[in-house]
Amino acid sequence: MRRTRLFFFALCACLLVGTQVRAIEMLPTFGDIDHIHLPALLVQHADGDQSLQLRAQDTTYIDNAQYQEMVIATKDMVQPFYVTIHVRQWKSVPITETWYEISHSEKKPVRLQRFDSGYLPLDNGDLYLVHLHGNWAAEGVPTVERLTRGVKTIRNSDGARNAHLDAPEVMISLDGVPQENSGRVLGAALCWSGNFEIRVAATDEKGFHFYAGIDPMASEYILSPKQVFTTPHLAYTYSDEGMGGVSRAFHRWARTCGMLHNGNATRNILLNSWEGIYFDITEERILAMMNDIAAFGGELFVMDDGWFGGKYQRNSDDAALGDWVVDTRKLPNGLKALTDAAKDRHIKFGIWIEPEATNTLSELYEQHPEWVLQERGRELKLGRGGTQLVLDMTNPKVQDFVFSIVDNLLTKHPEIAYIKWDANASIQNYGSPYLPRDKQSNLYVDYHLGLIKTLERIRAKYPNVVIQNCASGGGRANYGLMPYFDEFWVSDNNDALQRVYIQWGTSYFFPSNAMAQHIGGSPYLMTGRTTPIKFRCDVAMSGRLGMELQPAHMTDEERAQCTVAFADYKALRELIQLGNLYRLVSPFSEASPFSNQQSPAVQQVASLMYVNDAKDHAVLFAYGLTSFMKQASRRIRLAGLDPNRTYTLHEKNIRVAYHHDRNAWGEGEPCELDGKSFTGEYLMSVGLDIPLSTEYNIDYPSRIFELIVP
């Protein structure tokens, strides 16, 4: 941590040797750089001049309980153009943030043609880049590659969401192939929800140059005189504990520095209606689902898509977005009957909305066709359901409307404790009826500034409602929006096997109390894969546990297992949701179903654990990913423990057994490790041979252990 701080402040100090020092060390600008650098800032002044030579004018420091911040005011040598450079170093977490405030008093608007959030020079070495690539239903696949000469660019052009395909967070290993718990690794996250571009350039033999910011493609920002443009923050960390150290720093920063709403709080166990009943909502079905989640010991029920609509009904994905009135044909007694029923069952109630969208088949669109993004004189490009459109969040009237959706719901039904905020469309129509013609290129940026402004209003009035960030799954898992949300839906893919992989990659940057993980049905509807209920529970239990299936279709065994899982999870919740994550054996590390190199000889496993700050309480998860007869087991070495302490293992969520005497499912037998004690040193150097053998369960075996210092 100290090393990081020194590093960044040394960088800043370069600027302080006299007031005429070039700002290039922190902010390479076009017109002031040599041929080696790419610019982080490129502008065209009102008179057509494209050069920028910033010189430090004044430096101030902020020092409070949470952070130290250096604020360097700079000005161009010729034009009345100003950039204030901010460098904030958090005290409790090894995270540094940089961002720039850009303004001018030129006679006419200035065109910002590139406006990154930060720049960092890196020495030569065997550098490896780690970034998450994925897709809908297959998020968070870590992609690891050696950095070579030339420019490596990662970008996302979805417009509205930026974490499907390529995501705005990266790690750079400075010591070759990155390791999980050793080696020097730099982590960076651009705190932005729109299009971004991250570049690592090695344009000469001297070193590498890292840049990250808003993608300037189709996004030249037209900045009026006196207007201040603040770039998104870019957060860095540095760790000599490998990728795990980087992850833990981001997790702690998210939880303790306001980057995740209510970051230090634990989350409830819920049932979401979507994969259980889809659009087929009726009061009877909802009440039955509430009964079920309450019976399992769950704490919250969330009614997903399909509850709203007036003239147009929401029976599929092609209508009614925007018409946020209860469909009384489905719910004759309104939401009140549901919130009352939740109260009777001692659970909370939550509801789904997709506020930034509408359908051509909606009363909203009929009344306000000017509220959707559209290209003048061109045919509308339609999204989901063949009718979906994105609202123009640059328009203050649309922002008011979006605010009112949440405000109306929560004013009329203050019992609503949870909102799932979805976003299922990209920006396909590149035009804002609200923005003036000469500022159309501000759209990609102003959309997100409008969204953030609206979310800020919502949070100011409703700080306590839990809001889930969903964008067709994990499409908006980013630190631009996370401060307004309590959690995010990791993926629409609930297949427990693939979830091991998706959750693994997602945990590189995001903490477990933000990661919504649900027990799905089996065979799973998207993949057809059949997985045992224990495996499904154990996979979901490593983050924010929930359930998404039709409980009415569950077997007695499944019900019994879920009841055990919920009770055990409650006892471990604080540790799982707020503990320090150590990833032990990666599903990606060797032969994996993704790399097509399965070997029947050695079982492939994935394993991770959480440890509390005092290192006297931990929980270990182990999943068998391949199962063949007579397969060699895989020893798992633990991490993050105190080598000098002795830990006793207690198996959790033990697989239920059928009790013939009682004709019922009940408690099962723990494995032989249950009750055994080992020193931390033994567990971390020798490791455990966890019974995930084929005799236990031929497909998808898994175990959870609690570790306690007696």
Report, as residue numbers or ranges, the catalytic residues. Answer: 422, 492
Q: Assess 473 for contact with ligand GLA (CB under 6 A).
A: yes
Alpha-carbon radius of gyration of the chain: 26
Q: Assess 521 for contact with ligand GLA (CB under 6 A).
A: no
Q: Which residue has the tokens 């700050």?
A: 613
The residue count for binding ligand GLA (CB under 6 A) is 12
Q: Binding string, 668-707, against ligand GLA, x = CB under 6 A?
A: ----------------------------------------
- How many C-beta atoms surround the C-beta of residue 107 within 10 A? 10
Residue 334 region by backbone torsions, left for phi larger than 0, else alpha for psi between -120 and 50, else beta? left
Nearer to ligand GLA, 471 or 554 (CB): 471
CB of 283 to ligand GLA, least distance (A): 19
CB of 280 to ligand GLA, least distance (A): 12
Q: Assess 558 for contact with ligand GLA (CB under 6 A).
A: no
Nearer to ligand GLA, 136 or 696 (CB): 136
Q: Binding string, 312-341, against ligand GLA, x = CB under 6 A?
A: -----x------------------------
Nearer to ligand GLA, 422 or 495 (CB): 422
Amino acid at 517: Q
CB of 525 to ligand GLA, least distance (A): 12
In terms of Cα–Cα distance, which of 669, 655, 663, 658 is closest to 532?
655
Q: Residue 679: which residues within 8 A CB-CB, separation 6 or more?
A: 643, 644, 645, 646, 647
3-class secondary structure per residue, 137-149: CCCCEEEEEECCC
Of 173, 195, 440, 472, the one binding ligand GLA (CB under 6 A) is: 472
Distances (CA, A) of 469 to 333, 398, 458: 28, 20, 14
* Interacting span for ligand GLA (CB under 6 A) from 116-124, 197-205, 470-478, 614-622: 470-478
3-state SS, residue 254: helix
CB of 278 to ligand GLA, least distance (A): 8
3-state SS, residue 547: strand
CA distance linking residue 290 with residue 270, whole number of Å: 10
Residues in 99-118 at the binding interface with ligand GLA, rule: CB under 6 A: none
3-state SS, residue 1: coil
Nearer to ligand GLA, 79 or 424 (CB): 424
Nearer to ligand GLA, 317 or 446 (CB): 317
Nearer to ligand GLA, 139 or 422 (CB): 422
477-504 burial, b at 16+ Cβ within 10 Å, e below that, comes to: bbbbbbbbbbbbbbbbbbbbbbbbbbbb
Q: Assess 422 for contact with ligand GLA (CB under 6 A).
A: yes
3-state helix, strand, coil in the chain (%, to 5): 25, 30, 45
**Angle value at C-alpha 680, between 679 and 686, nearest 5 degrees:** 85
Q: Which residue has the tokens 């290192």?
A: 615
Nearer to ligand GLA, 373 or 490 (CB): 490
Closest residue to ligand GLA: CB criterion: 305
CB of 405 to ligand GLA, least distance (A): 16
* Interacting span for ligand GLA (CB under 6 A) from 47-55, 86-94, 225-233, 467-475: 467-475
Nearer to ligand GLA, 331 or 619 (CB): 331
In terms of Cα–Cα distance, which of 155, 134, 154 is closest to 218?
155
Of 84, 156, 193, 424, the one binding ligand GLA (CB under 6 A) is: 424
User: Residue 377 is encoded by which pair of tokens?
Assistant: 């004189």
CB of 231 to ligand GLA, least distance (A): 30
* 115 bridge partner residues: 41
CA distance linking residue 685 with residue 701, whole number of Å: 24
Nearer to ligand GLA, 462 or 489 (CB): 489
Beta strands in 242-282 (DSSP E): 270-272
CB of 475 to ligand GLA, least distance (A): 8
CA distance linking residue 188 with residue 175, whole number of Å: 17
* Interacting span for ligand GLA (CB under 6 A) from 435-443, 469-477, 520-528, 646-654: 469-477
Nearer to ligand GLA, 287 or 526 (CB): 526
Q: Assess 421 for contact with ligand GLA (CB under 6 A).
A: no
Of 97, 492, 558, 706, the one binding ligand GLA (CB under 6 A) is: 492
CA distance linking residue 510 with residue 249, whole number of Å: 10
17, 91 in Cβ contact below 8 A? no
Residues in 346-375 at the binding interface with ligand GLA, rule: CB under 6 A: 352
Q: Which residue has the tokens 């045992």?
A: 532
CA distance linking residue 507 with residue 130, whole number of Å: 13
CA distance linking residue 388 with residue 352, whole number of Å: 17
Of 210, 238, 274, 501, the one binding ligand GLA (CB under 6 A) is: 274
Residue 679 phi, psi dihedral angles, 5° rounding: -80, 155
Of 331, 342, 470, 618, the one binding ligand GLA (CB under 6 A) is: 470
Q: Assess 301 for contact with ligand GLA (CB under 6 A).
A: no
Amino acid at 522: S
Q: Assess 305 for contact with ligand GLA (CB under 6 A).
A: yes
* Interacting span for ligand GLA (CB under 6 A) from 164-172, 175-183, 228-236, 465-473: 465-473
Q: Which positions touch ligand GLA (CB under 6 A)?
A: 274, 304-305, 317, 352, 422, 424, 470, 472-473, 489, 492
